[in-house]
Amino acid sequence: MITTPWQSFPAPNATSAMPAASASFTTVTSPPMALANRFAPEHLVVDREALARRPLTAGAVFIGAYSAQAAGDYATGSNHVLPTSGAARFRGGLSAADFMRVMSIQRITRAGLARLAPTILPFARAEGLDAHAESIEIRLQ
């Protein structure tokens, strides 16, 4: 069963909470995990540990009756910046890693490029990127 707790909020909270909550909060208390994963909610509350061990698609998962999403927003770690509107299908919550600059640095020797060429050239040509292929061939002349 999927419950929507904002439906029991007193006015005016129910009116203001419903649009945001309907796109970001789901409580799962029995088997419809596939449905919850399709919603990819910002917050997913499950009533037992076994549900949390399944593949999940959510910004943050809260297990049990005492794991309130407000605790995650303000104190227990997930933070208040989580993917909304189903974005949890492809993105987790904001973290320190989002503020780090990541790049790869590659150093290839002539001999290494010669060993890689039989892999690189067919891919470049299959993609129609002849200049990529030629950039390898020129280096190996």
Q: Active-site residue numbers?
A: 42-43
Contact 28, 2 (CB under 8 A): yes
Dist. CA 47–CA 63, nearest whole Å: 6
Quick check: helix, strand or coil at residue 109? coil
Angle of helix 110-126 relative to helix 130-139, nearest 10 degrees? 160
Alpha-carbon gap, residue 29 to 39, rounded angstroms: 15
CB 80 within 8 A of CB 62: no
